Each structure stands twice: as C-alpha cells, then as structure tokens.
C-alpha cells in the first residue's frame, strides 16, 4: 500500500535551518509529482512547494520562496524540503503529499506529518 513517512522535524531557533525528508513506498515514486503542505497548529492547510517528476520544475508560494527548497531523489524514493531562515510563522505540521492520476494538483495520499517548531 502507498506510504509516505515524513521525518526531520523538531525544534529550531528563528533564523535556523532544517531539512525534512519523506520516504515513499508502495508505488513507483518516479512516476508521480509531489508536494509539501503544512498546517499551523489549529489552522488551515497551506501548500508550500511542488516538484515535477524529473525535479526540474518547482513551484513555491511567496511565503516561502527563496527560503525553502524542494528536491527529490528518485533512486531513493525520497522527497526533501530544505528550510532556511526559519521564522516563528513557519511552525506547523508538514505533510508530504502525492499528486494523484486524477488531475493536476489533486493530492490523493498524505503522510502523517512531521512537526516543525520555530522558537527561541
């Protein structure tokens, strides 16, 4: 079965960096576009990055552009999110998601999330 398992979250000081990982299994990872979506405590969902199958196309919203970098290693079935210059407002649960076959930007599988806390 499809599994997405995030790791790498934790407590970091403002201005610090963190790298999240997502281990994918149960499907051919190299056939799917992937995204990261986050959810601040008690808040709604915010899409924060998207990567194509090859890794050549990446999208970000303005809130993280220039600070976050999405990448993937198809040989390792893994998705990554490098987060730099972290701010308190980046505190959230970060989900790894798979774009399904039913159309662009529809997320049919989600991991359970990894919590990032930015605090001094």
**Residues contributing to the site for other proteins (CB under 8 A):** 35, 44-47, 50, 59, 61, 95, 100, 102-108, 110-113
What is the C-alpha to C-alpha distance for residues 95 and 45, in angstroms, rounded to an integer?
10
Q: What are phi and psi of 80, to 5 degrees?
A: -135, 160
- Rounded least distance, CB 16 to other proteins, Å: 26
Instruction: Please state the closest distance from residue 27 (CB atom) to other proteins, in A.
Output: 15
Query: Quick one: 16 or 103, whose CB is closer to other proteins?
Result: 103
Closer by beta carbon to other proteins, 13 or else 65 = 65
Q: Name the residue nearer to other proteins (CB basis): 17 or 106.
A: 106
């Amino acid at each position: 079965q499809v599994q997405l398992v995030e790791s790498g979250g934790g407590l970091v000081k403002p201005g610090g960096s963190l790298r999240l990982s997502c281990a994918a299994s149960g499907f051919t990872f190299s056939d799917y576009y992937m995204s990261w979506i986050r959810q601040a405590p008690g808040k709604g969902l915010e899409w924060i990055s998207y990567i194509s199958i090859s890794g050549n196309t990446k999208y970000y919203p303005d809130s993280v552009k220039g600070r976050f970098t999405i990448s993937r290693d198809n040989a390792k079935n893994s998705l990554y999110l490098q987060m730099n210059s972290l701010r308190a407002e980046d505190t959230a649960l970060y989900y790894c998601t798979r774009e399904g076959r039913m159309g662009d930007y529809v997320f049919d599988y989600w991991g359970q999330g990894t919590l990032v806390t930015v605090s001094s």
